[in-house]
């Protein structure tokens, strides 16, 4: 029974209800104790087994990480820098990213860290990035599609595409398509998705997603990331493609969601309250690092990783069968850039 509770996706709700019940019936110390016991289990469950791969040498390997200027992207970059990789920080804010690069250079001693401007919601900019990358590096060993945003209210890019969809999905789709011919043998594509993809119940109308007609688009972009992973894993024979859920982590993601002061306050209180259950940024980067460093033959192409281990997609993915539909839709929408 207890195991079921801590494995439930609704643990924050269950946890807080339990606490309220305790509060009504018992005293404060018991309440605090119960909270920390639950938090301990939830935290450990979210984190999963600890893997190290300390001795993997990525010397000479070329890695692109989108959104390496903050959050789990930054932590991933730091760890891969320790493993001697050549890392391209594909980011939109030069001065913020240069600070991160200099910090990582200093602690790891790795001097092969490069900033290259990439604004994912601007498709011309994505094409420009790929051109620059190809002329400077030529080949690509590992692509980590990590950047992402969440927004409380819809905004649009210059093509009038809903901004979260443009950034999290379409920009990455274009980036990946344009880089496909640079991939080396035994290369990897790692797509940072989210457990939120599991909210899917019925077929998505991709035009509505593009135009911002769904109340929530973040979950939709994460679902699309999973579909892209499945499509690429079927198409690419010398590349392994995986999607993953990094856990629930306090990063800049929600701070940047463009919300009101009241919402920000609620967010702060919520994160503070749940902090013992959420992962640290370092822990949040572990599943991405694990998929990057694990031996190539062990990585399952088309697989979904979570809590540092192989996991399963939502059952609806197979049933709804939208892999081809999304692939064609994306190619159609971005055909002028391909």
Ligand X SMILES: *[C@@H]1O[C@H](CO)[C@@H](O)[C@H](O)[C@H]1NC(C)=O
Ligand Y SMILES: NC(=O)c1ccc[n+]([C@@H]2O[C@H](COP(=O)([O-])OP(=O)(O)OC[C@H]3O[C@@H](n4cnc5c(N)ncnc54)[C@H](OP(=O)(O)O)[C@@H]3O)[C@@H](O)[C@H]2O)c1
Contact residues: ligand X, CB under 6 A: 55, 57, 59, 83-84, 92, 117, 119, 122, 124-125, 128, 197, 199-201, 204, 214-216, 219-220, 223
- Residue 71 interacts with, from ligand Y, ligand X, none (CB under 5-8 Å by kind): ligand Y
- Residue 124 interacts with, from ligand Y, ligand X, none (CB under 5-8 Å by kind): ligand X
CA-based radius of gyration for the chain: 20
Question: Please, what is the minimum distance in Å from the beta carbon of residue 180 to ligand Y?
Answer: 20
Question: Please, what is the minimum distance in Å from the beta carbon of residue 270 to ligand X?
Answer: 19
Question: Please, what is the minimum distance in Å from the beta carbon of residue 252 to ligand Y?
Answer: 4
CA distance 240 to 214: 32
Question: Please, what is the minimum distance in Å from the beta carbon of residue 20 to ligand X?
Answer: 27
* Angstrom distances, CA of residue 192 to CA of 158, 178, 241, 291: 25, 19, 11, 11
Q: Are 244 and 306 in contact (CB under 8 A)?
A: yes
- Residues interacting with ligand Y, by CB under 6 A? 66-67, 69-73, 91-93, 96, 118-121, 146-149, 167, 192, 194, 245-246, 248-249, 251-253, 256
- Residue 78 interacts with, from ligand X, ligand Y, none (CB under 5-8 Å by kind): none
Contacts of range 262-267, beta carbons closer than 8 Å, 24 or more positions apart: 263/152
Nearer to ligand Y, 70 or 333 (CB): 70
- Residue 167 interacts with, from ligand Y, ligand X, none (CB under 5-8 Å by kind): ligand Y
- Residue 243 interacts with, from ligand Y, ligand X, none (CB under 5-8 Å by kind): none
H or E segment to which residue 180 belongs: none
CA distance 105 to 291: 23
Q: Are 140 and 183 in contact (CB under 8 A)?
A: yes
Q: Angle between the 171-179 and 218-235 helix axes, to the nearest 10 degrees?
A: 20
């Amino acid at each position: 029974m207890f195991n079921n509770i801590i494995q439930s996706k609704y643990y924050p709700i269950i946890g807080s209800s339990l606490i309220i019940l305790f509060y009504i019936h018992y005293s404060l110390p018991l309440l605090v104790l119960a909270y920390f016991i639950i938090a301990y289990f939830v935290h450990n469950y979210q984190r999963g087994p600890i893997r190290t791969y300390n001795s993997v040498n990525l010397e000479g390997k070329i890695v692109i990480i989108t959104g390496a200027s903050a959050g789990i992207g930054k932590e991933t970059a730091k760890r891969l820098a320790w493993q001697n990789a050549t890392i391209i920080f594909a980011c939109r804010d030069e001065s913020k990213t240069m600070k991160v690069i200099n910090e990582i250079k200093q602690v790891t001693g790795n001097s092969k860290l490069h900033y290259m401007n990439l604004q994912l919601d601007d498709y011309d900019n994505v094409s420009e990035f790929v051109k620059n990358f190809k002329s400077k590096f030529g080949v690509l060993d590992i692509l980590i599609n990590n950047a992402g945003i969440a927004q409380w209210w819809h905004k649009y890019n210059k093509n009038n595409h809903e901004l979260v969809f443009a950034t999290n999905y379409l920009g990455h789709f274009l980036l990946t398509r344009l880089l496909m011919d640079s991939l080396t043998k035994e290369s990897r594509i790692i797509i940072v998705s989210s457990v939120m993809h599991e909210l899917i119940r019925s077929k998505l109308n991709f035009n509505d997603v593009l135009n911002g007609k769904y109340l929530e688009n973040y979950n939709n972009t994460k679902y699309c990331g999973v579909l892209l992973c499945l499509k690429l894993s079927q198409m690419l024979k010398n590349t392994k493609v995986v999607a993953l859920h990094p856990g629930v982590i306090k990063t800049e993601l929600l701070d940047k969601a463009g919300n009101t002061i009241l919402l920000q306050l609620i967010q702060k209180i919520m994160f503070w309250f749940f902090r013992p259950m959420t992962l640290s940024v370092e822990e949040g980067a572990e599943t991405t690092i694990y998929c990057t460093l694990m031996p190539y033959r062990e990585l399952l192409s088309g697989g979904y990783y979570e809590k540092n281990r192989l996991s399963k997609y939502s059952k609806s993915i197979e049933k709804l069968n939208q892999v081809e539909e999304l692939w064609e839709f994306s190619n159609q929408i971005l055909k002028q850039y391909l």
